[in-house]
Amino acid sequence: MFEDKEPELTPISKLGEFGLIKHLTQFFPILNDSTELGVGDDAAVINPNGKKVVLTTDVLAEGVHFNLGYVPLKHLGYKAVVVNLSDIAAMNAKPTQILVSLAVSNRFPVEALEELYSGIQTACNHYKVDLIGGDTTSSNAGLIMSITAVGIEDEENLVKRSGAQPNDLLVVTGDLGGAYMGLQILEREHAVFLADPDMQPEMEGFDYILERQLKPEARTDVKATLEQLNIKPTSMIDISDGLASEILHLSDQSKVGFRLYEEKVPMDNLTITTADEFNLNPVMTALSGGEDYELLFTISPNDFEKMKNHPDFTIIGHAVEKEEGNFMVARGSNQLVALTAQGWDAFLGNQQND
Ligand code: ADP
Ligand code: MG
């Protein structure tokens, strides 16, 4: 996918490992006071100034987590940062630094890594985080990238997965299922392209869900909105694997059950019509699709009035005693559908029984 862009490509060997690191990291200014020493020494130095340090890391492997046949490297770099910042946001912490490690095969020229780093840089600027280090090595097969994110936050602001109580309200940001349907469109059009490279992909009209898949955002903004509302969630998680799976995590760590109301699950119209086109039950794309990177949290029922009409948030259910289990209340009936982590097959089975 790079061949037709640049007339002359630079093999990594021309710069060497150290030259490459310098080249890729030269345009990353330090934005945070907590960053005392960034790229270039044996290790970075950060100063949390009496606050807590929150750490998370994610590995992305070519062919497992991304397909460079249809994911541009710039988007991959951006998204790789976002998925980590989403985990920091899910702790209600402010993301401040990242480290980026790469294992890269020699099929990638320097220009490809420049694309990747321009996406990483766009994310660093947008979210005001500093690139403070990483590691670079060669790989025999494809590209593997690991990003570690650092967040710094006052202890009293941190929110864990544990902490939800029975009767707490279950709240979600944004809308769900879009990233999964965007992936279905990309995979369909990629298959068409592989079968006949002269065919033009039909991506028109799918912008919103394609963007949800290719350029997701981390909800680092939610922390400030909750502060304005004077609400501190009792538990929180980000939605990387699908709503059902994340509800089960909150359930597990908080030792409560949940009731989720199908009719409340926020979904964009395009997600619904595209799911219909693929003969998928739309709510299943929210429950089991994943990669939406919205935040799922619980609040005290006392905060209901403060939260109820806010456009950024949807109340989708509530916590119950652990013994009552985790169920979705089906639309238009009071039928309870068990929430399961690997939704698809189980849910499709359930549907046929309806
Ligand atoms: P060492 O041999 O001690 O591990 P490196 O030569 O790997 O040192 O790294 C030198 C500096 O460059 C360090 O600050 C390291 O964190 C940084 N670095 C290495 N690879 C990357 C990368 N892919 N992205 C950002 N910084 C990197
Ligand atoms: Mg190293």
Residue 142 is labelled as binding a ligand: no
CA 98 / ligand 2 centre spacing (Å): 15
- The residue contributing the CA closest to ligand 1 atom 16 is 133
**pLDDT, mean of residues 219-244:** 97
Residues around ion ligand 2, judged by CB within 5 A, are 135
Q: Which of 59, 104, 135 to mutate to test the pocket of ligand 1 (most atoms within 8 A of CB)?
A: 135
Residue 248, pLDDT > 60, answer: yes
At residue 202, the pLDDT reads: 82
Select from 279, 251, 234 the least CA-distant residue to 340: 251
Average pLDDT over residues 99-112: 95
Residues 144 and 180 in one domain: no
> 83 with 186, same domain?
no
Query: What's the confidence (pLDDT) of residue 203?
Result: 85
Whether residue 189 sits in one domain with residue 99: no
In a domain, 240, yes or no: yes
- Residue 162 maps to a domain: no
Task: With H, G, I as helix, E, B as strand and everything else as coil, classify residue 263.
Answer: helix
195 shares a domain with 140: no
Strand boundaries in 187-294, DSSP class E: 235-238, 256-261
The CA 18 to ligand 1 mean position distance, Å, reads 8
- pLDDT tens by residue, 290-336: 899 999 999 999 999 999 999 999 999 999 999 999 999 999 888 99
CATH code at 56?
3.30.1330.10
Confirm whether 7 is domain-assigned.
no
Closest CA to 315 of 177, 180, 159, 168: 168
The per-residue pLDDT for range 20-69, each reduced to its tens digit, is 999 999 999 999 999 999 999 999 999 999 999 999 999 999 998 899 98
For residue 18, give the ligand 1 atom closest to its CA: 6
Q: Given pLDDT bands bounded at 50, 70 and 90, which one contains residue 7? A: low
If asked whether residues 153 and 287 sit together in one domain, one would say no
Domain tally for the chain?
Answer: 2
- In the sheet that holds 295-299, the strands lie side by side as 235-238, 295-299, 169-173, 313-321, 256-261, 326-329, 336-338
Domain span at residue 116 reads: 12-157
Q: Is 275:137 a contact under the CB 8 Å cutoff?
A: no
Residue 144 CA to residue 99 CA, distance in Å, equals 14
Instruction: Give, to the nearest 10 degrees, the angle between helix 178-195 and helix 207-214.
Output: 100
Question: Is the CB of 77 inside a 6 Å radius of any atom of ligand 1?
Answer: no
Among the candidates 157, 183, 210, a domain finishes at 157
CA distances from 44 to 36, 132, 187 (A): 8, 6, 40
Query: 250 and 108 in one domain?
Result: no
pLDDT at 141: 86
Q: Is residue 37 part of a domain?
A: yes
Average pLDDT of the segment spanning 141-150: 96
Picking from 117, 132, 157, the residue at the C-terminal end of a domain is 157
237 and 282 in a single domain? The answer is yes
Write the CA distances from 235 to 37, 104, 137, 246, integer angstroms.
Answer: 33, 38, 38, 11
With respect to residue 24, please indicate whether it lies within any of the assigned structural domains: yes
0.85 exceeded by the pTM? yes
For residues 108 and 209, membership in a common domain is answered with no
Q: Is residue 350 over pLDDT 50? A: no
Do the Cβ atoms of 291 and 183 come closer than 8 Å? Answer: yes
Q: Confirm or deny that 240 is annotated as ligand binding.
A: yes
**Residue 186 and residue 316 in one domain:** yes
Phi, psi (5° rounding) for residue 170?
-100, 125
> 327: which strand partners?
259, 338
Q: Please give the distance, rounded to the nearest whole angstrom, from the Cα atom of residue 152 to the centre of ligand 1.
A: 22
Q: How confident is the model at residue 344 (pLDDT cuts 50, 70, 90)?
A: very low
Which residue, of 157, 183, 207, is where some domain finishes? 157
Report the pLDDT value the prediction gives residue 264, as an integer from 0 to 100.
Answer: 97
- Please report the pLDDT score of residue 173 as a whole number: 98
User: Is there a contact between 16 and 28 (Cβ–Cβ < 8 Å)?
Assistant: no
Whether residue 142 is predicted with pLDDT greater than 60 in this model: the reply is yes
Q: Are residues 87 and 194 in the same domain?
A: no
User: Is residue 82 domain-resident?
Assistant: yes
Are residues 147 and 58 in contact, defined by beta-carbon separation less than 8 angstroms? yes
pLDDT of residue 348: 45
Ligand 1 site, residue 133, Cβ cutoff 6 A: yes
Residue 288 included in any domain: yes
Q: Does one domain contain both 181 and 32?
A: no
Q: Which domain CATH number covers 224? A: 3.90.650.10
Q: How many Cα atoms occupy the beta-carbon half-sphere of 280 within 13 Å?
A: 23
Is 4 among the domain residues?
no
Q: Is the CB of 40 under 6 A from ligand 1?
A: yes
Q: Is the CB of 27 under 6 A from ligand 1?
A: no
One domain, residues 220 and 307: yes
Q: What is the pLDDT of residues 264-302, one digit of tens each?
A: 999 999 999 999 999 999 999 999 998 999 999 999 999
pLDDT at position 4, please?
A: 57
Distance 103 CA to ligand 1 centre (A): 12
The string of DSSP codes covering 281-297 is: -HHHHHHH------EEE
pLDDT at 351 over 70: no
pLDDT at 347 over 80: no
Q: At what angle do helices 178-195 and 269-277 cross, to 10 degrees?
A: 40
